[in-house]
Amino acid sequence: MNTREITVTVNGRKRTVNVEVRRTLADFLREDLGLTATHLGCEHGVCGACTVIVDGHTERSCTQLAVQADGREITTVEGLATGDGELHPVQQALRDNHSFQCGFCTPGFVMTIYGMCEDKKAGRPVPCSRTEIREELSGNICRCTGYQSIVDGTEAALAGTAGKES
Amino acid sequence: MAGGSAISGLVGARVHRKEDRTILTGTGRYVDDVQARGMLHAHFLRSTVAHGRITSIDVDEARKVEGVVRVFTGADMSAITEDLSFAQPIPGLHSPSYPAIAHDVVRFVGEPVALIIAESRYIAEDAAGLIEIDYDILDPIMSTTAGLADGATELFGDVPGNVVHTDEQLFGDIEAAFSQADHVVEQSLDQHRWACNPMETRGGVATYETGSGQLVYEASTQTTHTLRFLLAGWIRQPIHQFRVTANNIGGGFGLKFSAYREDVAVCAAAKAVGGAVKWVEDRNEHLVAAGAAREEQLTLQAAVKADGTLLGLRVTMKLDAGAYPINPPATVYAGLVRTTLPGPYKLPAYHFQHHIVATNKASYISLRGPWAVETLVRERLMDKIAETCGISPVEVRTRNLITLDDQPTKMITNVTLENVTAAETFQKLVEMVDLDEVRRQQEAARAEGRLLGFGVGTFIEPAPGTQEFWAAVGFPFGSEPCRIRIEIDGKVTAFTPQTPHGQSHETTLSQLIADELGVGFDDIRIVYGDTDATPFSMLGTGGSRAATMASGAAVYGARELRKRVLEIASHMLEASVEDLQIADGVVSVKGAPGASVPMGQIAMGCWLAPDQMPPGTNTEMEFVADYDGEGGGFSQASHACWVEVDQQTGKIEVQRFLVVEDCGKMINPAVVEGQVIGGIAMGVGGMLLEHSAYAEDGQYLTATFMDYLMPSAPELPEIEIEHMEFETDKVVGSRGVGEGGTVLAPAALLNAIDDALAQVGRPRITETPITPTRMLELLGVIEKE
C-alpha cells in the first residue's frame, strides 16, 4: 500500500496522518477522521453532498485526494455548530425555513451556503436575487425539496436574519 | 369532532422540525456512517452484458488479493441462500424466482455476478477487477414490443411469451358508449424510464453475532418489518433471531420499499464470515442496477359527446417490467393505474387491458405515485377532447368533474368517492387564473417570436385510499398501530412502524401527541426503524399513508392514555374527569389551578406502585392503538403550469407553477408545502431531464449524474401553493400529500407544452422525455432520428 504522511488542519484541529495516496479527501475525512457529516452522493463531483471548505474555498471532497490537502485548512459541517448545542446562524436560518427533508444532501448545502456567507463577510460578491441564489446553489443536488425552501433559507442566511428557537 | 385534535395548539402550526438539529449538524446516522470494529466491506461485480449465459467464472486471482476475506460466486451464494421469490397467489401472474447472485443466466447490465468481501471498499473493488467471466451472449429484449413479438427469445422458462401478467376488465356498457359517441378521441403516450435516485443510495450493514446466532441488519429501507420477513426465509435466518433497523434514511421515493438481492447476499455474507459487513452502493451502481420506473406505453380511445361529455374509455397499457420482479408484484401497479385512471370524472363505461412484459433491463420499481401515468394520460386526453370539441381545457373538465354535490358516488371502478374535492380545487385554480389574459399574453409573445404554453390538470390521490379502493387494486389496506408510553417521569415515547426518510413524522406525530396528551413537544420522542421495538406493519413509510394512518394511531393511543391519566387524577384531585385538563404535563382542575398533579407523579405511581393507585383504575401507562383509517379517503389537487419554449434551442422553461391542494387538515403546513414542492420538482425533472436510457444492445447509457440529469435549483420555478382544508366529521381529517406533486405535475407540464405546440400548428407529444432535442423534433426544426 503506497502511503504518505500528511498534515491537515480540520475544524481547527491539526492532524498528522499516514494516508494511502489514492484515498479521496472525502473518504479520509469520513473513514480516517470519523467525520461522517460530509456525505457522498455521487463520488463524481456532481451532487455536492461532499462539499467542504478548503483554505477558504468551497470545494468537492470526493474529487480530490487526501494527499492534495496536505498543509491545508479544512472546515466541515462538524466545525460549524458549537458544542453547547447552539446552531451556527446559517444552520439556524435553514432550520427556520424548513429547508431540508431527508438530510442526506444537507451538509453539502450547509457548507455551500456557509461559503457564501463567508464571502459576504469578506466583502466578496454574493448572489442577491432568488434567481442568482438558485444559480449559486446549482452545484448541489437535493432530491426531496424542490429547492424553494433552501432558497428561502439561503436568503435568510445571507441577510443574517436567523430567528430564535420557536 | 372535526379535524382531529383534542386541544388545538401545535397541530396546524409551522412547528420547527425535530429532525433538523440532527441533519443540519451532520450528526445523523446514515448507513455509510456506521463504523464497527472489524467491519468488512462488500462490493458486487456486475454483469456487463444484457442477456447471456455465464460459461465460466474465475475468482482465483481475486481471492489472492491481500485484504480480501471472501469471494462469493453465484454458486457459492446459492449454497447458503434461497432464491428470491415474490410470487403471490394472483391468477395468471408469472413471477420468476431468482438467485441473489446470478450463476447461470444474466438478464440485465448490472446484475450481480460476484460478491467480494474485503477489509476496505478500495480492496474489494481492486479484487473485482481481477475476476474473469465469460458469457455466451443471448439476444436481449429491450422493449415491450420486442418482448411480445412472435418468436421472441424468452427470458425465463416460466414466463411464457415474456408476459408477466395480462388481464382485461370491463366496467359498464362500453359498446353502447362508443355507439352513442359524437367523437372518438384517441391518444397515446410512450413514457420513458426514470428513477427514484434518492441522494442516499441503497445499502445496509449486516452484523452476525456468532455466539447468539442473532443477525442485525441496519438498512436504508422504507419498511423494516417487511424487509425482515422477506429476508429471513431467503437467508435461512430464524426470524426471532433477526432484527432489522433503520436510522437516518437519505430518501427513498418508493425504491426502498422492496427487498433486493443485494440485501440477501450481504446478510448471508455476514453470517458466512461471522461478523459485520457493510454494503453501500455507489451512484454508478445505483443508476445501472437499482431499478427504475414509469416505463409504460398507453393508448386511449374516448367516446365523447359533441359538448365534451365523456361516455366511455378504452385503455391499453404495456408495462416494461425489466427482468426481475420486486415487491410489490407488477399486478399492483397495473391495478393502481386501472382503478385510479377514471379519476374525479364521471365515466359511464370503461375497458382496461394491460400487458406486463419482461425485458432485459433492471427491475421496474415503485416511484413516488407509482400509478402516476393514469393521471398523465387522462389529463392529456381531456385537453385533446377539449380541442376536438372546440371548448377550453377548463370547460371540458368542469363539464365532467364530480363535485361534492354529486357525492357520495361510485367511480366506474367500484370505488366510492366521498368528500373528494378535486372539482373544488379546480374551481379555485380557475378563479386564480385569468385564462383570457393568458391567451392575450401568448398572442403578444408570438408577435415577438416567442412561444408560451399553458396547461392545467386535476386528480385524486389514494392517500391513503379506501378499503374498496385497495380491494379493487388487489392489495390489502392494513390498519396502522402505534405503541405509546408515558414514561416514569411523565415524558412520552411513541413507537411507530413508519420508517420516515424526510417526511417529518417525528415532528408531525409529536405535534399530534402533544395536543392530545397536553405534554410538551420536546417531551415526546418518536421511535422508528427497529423491528425489536416498533409494532408490526407491512407497509412502513409508503403510499402516503402516514398523514392519516400513523396520525390516527398516535391520536387514538394518546387518547387512551389521556383517559387513564384523567381517571386516576380524578380520584387524586377529587374532581370529575370532565372538570380536569392537562397542560404542559400537569393535570389540574379547570378553574382551580391549585388543585393539580403532575403527570409524572401519576406515571411514577403507575410504574412503581400500581397497587397503591386508586382502585379500579387502569394503571398501564403503555398502550398499543390500532387505527383502521375510519374508511380512509383521498387527497386532491389541481395544477396550472406556464412554460416558454425556446424555438432555437428547444429549451423549455417552466415560468410559473400554481397549485391548489387539499389534503384535509394540515398538521404542519411547512411539511405539506415541502412535500408538494418536492413532488412537483421530481415530476418536472422526470419529464424534462431524467432518463434511465438503454442502448439497443442493452448497455445502460446514463450511469452518472452527468448523463442522468437531476433537476437542480435553476431548472425549477418558484411554486405557488393555495391550500384548501376540507374537513370531514372523521377524527383524523388529514390526508397524505407525499406523492401527488409527482403524479400531477407531469400532466400540467405536458399540457402546457402541447398548448405551445398547438399555437405553431405542431402535433402533440407522444413520447417522453421532452429533452431539447425532442422539443426541436416536435417543433419540426430538426428531423426525428
pLDDT at residue B8, rounded to an integer: 54
If pLDDT is split at 50, 70 and 90, which confidence band does B475 have? confident
CATH topology match: B34-138+196-289 vs B296-473+632-778: no
Minimal C-alpha gap between B38 and chain A (Å):
13
Please tell me the distance from the alpha carbon of residue B641 to that of residue B383, in angstroms, as a whole number: 14
- What is the H or E stretch that residue B744 is in? helix B740-759
The chain-wide mean pLDDT, for chain A, equals: 95
Sign of the C-alpha dihedral computed for residues B437, B439, B443 and B445 taken in this order? positive
> Are the Cβ atoms of B250 and A103 closer than 8 angstroms?
yes
Which of A91, A135, A139 is nearest residue B24 as measured by Cβ atoms? A91
Sheet holding B68-73, edge to edge: B68-73, B112-118, B40-46, B276-280, B203-209, B214-219, B242-245
Of B313-327, B492-506, B538-552, B553-567, minimum mean pLDDT range: B538-552
Please tell me the distance from the alpha carbon of residue B112 to that of residue B202, in angstroms, as a whole number: 14
Task: Inform me whether the C-beta atom of residue A43 falls under 8 Å from chain B C-beta atoms.
Answer: yes
The β-bridge relationship of strands B492-495 and B524-527 is parallel
> Are the Cβ atoms of B674 and A38 closer than 8 angstroms?
no
Does residue A166 surpass a pLDDT of 60?
A: no
Q: What is the pLDDT of residues B593-645, one digit of tens each?
A: 789 999 999 999 999 999 999 999 999 999 999 999 999 999 999 999 999 99
> Are the Cβ atoms of B710 and A106 closer than 8 angstroms?
no
Chain A contact set for B25 (CB, 8 A) = 37, 77-78, 80-81, 87, 91
pLDDT at residue B139, rounded to an integer: 96
Question: B599, B528, B647: which is closest to B244 by C-alpha?
Answer: B528
Burial class (CB in 10 A: 0-12, 13-18, 19+), B609: exposed
Q: Which residues of B674-686 are buried (b: 16+ CB within 10 A; e: fewer)?
A: bbbbbbbbbbbbb
Average pLDDT over residues A33-40: 97
pLDDT at residue A108, rounded to an integer: 98
* Chosen from A84, A104, A132 to mutate, greatest number of chain B CBs within 10 A: A104
Minimal C-alpha gap between B605 and chain A (Å):
33
Residue B527 near residue B209, CB atoms below 8 Å: no
**Superfamily the domain A89-159 falls into:** [2Fe-2S]-binding domain (1.10.150.120)
Task: Inform me whether the C-beta atom of residue A57 falls under 8 Å from chain B C-beta atoms.
Answer: no
> Are the Cβ atoms of B501 and A94 closer than 8 angstroms?
no
Residue B141 near residue B359, CB atoms below 8 Å: yes
Average pLDDT over residues B251-261: 96
pLDDT at residue A55, rounded to an integer: 97
Residues in chain A: 166
> Are the Cβ atoms of A148 and B718 closer than 8 angstroms?
yes
Average pLDDT over residues B443-456: 98
Question: B712, B769, B700, B687: which is closest to B284 by C-alpha?
Answer: B700
Question: Looking at the domain that runs over B20-28+479-537+549-630, which CATH code has it been given?
Answer: 3.30.365.10
> Are the Cβ atoms of B199 and A133 closer than 8 angstroms?
no
Percent of chain A with pLDDT over 90: 91
> What's the CATH class of domain A3-79?
alpha beta
Does residue A43 surpass a pLDDT of 90?
A: yes
pLDDT at residue A82, rounded to an integer: 76
Please tell me the distance from the alpha carbon of residue B624 to that of residue B120, in angstroms, as a whole number: 43
If pLDDT is split at 50, 70 and 90, which confidence band does A162 have? low
Task: Inform me whether the C-beta atom of residue A103 falls under 8 Å from chain B C-beta atoms.
Answer: yes
Average pLDDT over residues B2-24: 79
Sign of the C-alpha dihedral computed for residues B586, B591, B593 and B596 taken in this order? negative
Minimal C-alpha gap between B197 and chain A (Å):
7
Sheet holding B633-645, edge to edge: B451-465, B633-645, B652-662, B719-724
Please tell me the distance from the alpha carbon of residue B49 to that of residue B93, in angstroms, as a whole number: 27
Does residue B666 surpass a pLDDT of 80?
A: yes
Domain ranges (residues) in chain B = 20-28+479-537+549-630, 34-138+196-289, 296-473+632-778
Q: What is the pTM of this model?
A: 0.96
Which of B25, B251, B719 is nearest residue A102 as measured by Cβ atoms? B251
Q: Which fold has domain B34-138+196-289?
A: Aldehyde Oxidoreductase; domain 3 (3.90.1170)
> Are the Cβ atoms of A47 and B21 closer than 8 angstroms?
no
3-state secondary structure of B206: strand
Q: What is the pLDDT of residues B691-740, one digit of tens each?
A: 999 999 999 999 999 999 999 999 999 999 999 999 888 999 999 999 99
Beta partners for B451? B645
Tell me the CA distances in angstroms from B627 to B304, B523, B556, B732, one per residue in order. Answer: 42, 24, 7, 10
Question: B410, B386, B406: which is closest to B396 by C-alpha?
Answer: B386
Of A84-88, B227-231, B262-266, B463-467, minimum mean pLDDT range: A84-88
Domain ranges (residues) in chain A = 3-79, 89-159
Cis (ω within 30 of 0) for the bond into B497? no
Residue B744 near residue B557, CB atoms below 8 Å: no
Does residue A81 surpass a pLDDT of 60?
A: yes
Minimal C-alpha gap between B530 and chain A (Å):
18
Question: Looking at the domain that runs over B296-473+632-778, which CATH code has it been given?
Answer: 3.30.365.10
Does residue A52 surpass a pLDDT of 90?
A: yes
Percent of chain B with pLDDT over 70: 99
Please tell me the distance from the alpha carbon of residue B507 to that of residue B667, in angstroms, as a whole number: 9
pLDDT at residue B785, rounded to an integer: 74
Sign of the C-alpha dihedral computed for residues B526, B532, B538 and B543 taken in this order? positive
Please tell me the distance from the alpha carbon of residue A36 to that of residue A42, in angstroms, as a whole number: 15
Question: Cell numbers of B116, please?
Answer: 467480494
- Computed over its alpha carbons, how large is the radius of gyration of chain A? 16
Chain A contact set for B14 (CB, 8 A) = 98
Does residue B1 surpass a pLDDT of 50?
A: no
pLDDT at residue B5, rounded to an integer: 40
Q: What is the pLDDT of residues B107-141, one digit of tens each?
A: 999 999 999 999 999 999 999 999 999 999 999 99
Closest chain A CA to residue B15: A166
Average pLDDT over residues B42-47: 98
Residue B573 near residue B589, CB atoms below 8 Å: yes
What residues contact B252, with CB distance under 8 A and at least 6 apart?
Answer: B196, B198, B220, B221, B222, B501, B541, B542
- What is the H or E stretch that residue A70 is in? none
Which of B16, B678, B704 is nearest residue A145 as measured by Cβ atoms? B678
Tell me the CA distances in angstroms from B434 to B3, B223, B501, B641, one per residue in order. Answer: 33, 45, 39, 13
Task: Inform me whether the C-beta atom of residue A75 falls under 8 Å from chain B C-beta atoms.
Answer: no
> Are the Cβ atoms of B199 and A105 closer than 8 angstroms?
yes
Does residue A103 surpass a pLDDT of 80?
A: yes
CB A157: neighbour CB atoms within 10 A?
Answer: 27
Sheet holding B586-589, edge to edge: B580-583, B586-589, B592-598
Beta partners for B40? B277
> Are the Cβ atoms of B250 and A98 closer than 8 angstroms?
no
Chain A contact set for B17 (CB, 8 A) = 95, 98
What residues contact B467, with CB distance under 8 A and at least 6 apart?
Answer: B477, B629, B631, B632
Residue B294 near residue B372, CB atoms below 8 Å: yes
The single-letter code of the amino acid at A163 is: G
> Are the Cβ atoms of B20 and A78 closer than 8 angstroms?
no
Which of A20, A42, A110 is nearest residue B24 as measured by Cβ atoms? A110
CB B440: neighbour CB atoms within 10 A?
Answer: 11
What interface predicted TM-score (ipTM) does this complex get?
0.96
> Are the Cβ atoms of B16 and A145 closer than 8 angstroms?
no
Please tell me the distance from the alpha carbon of residue B147 to that of residue B91, in angstroms, as a whole number: 21
Minimal C-alpha gap between A155 and chain B (Å):
14
Average pLDDT over residues B508-525: 97
> Are the Cβ atoms of A39 and B32 closer than 8 angstroms?
yes
Question: Cell numbers of B514, please?
Answer: 402533544
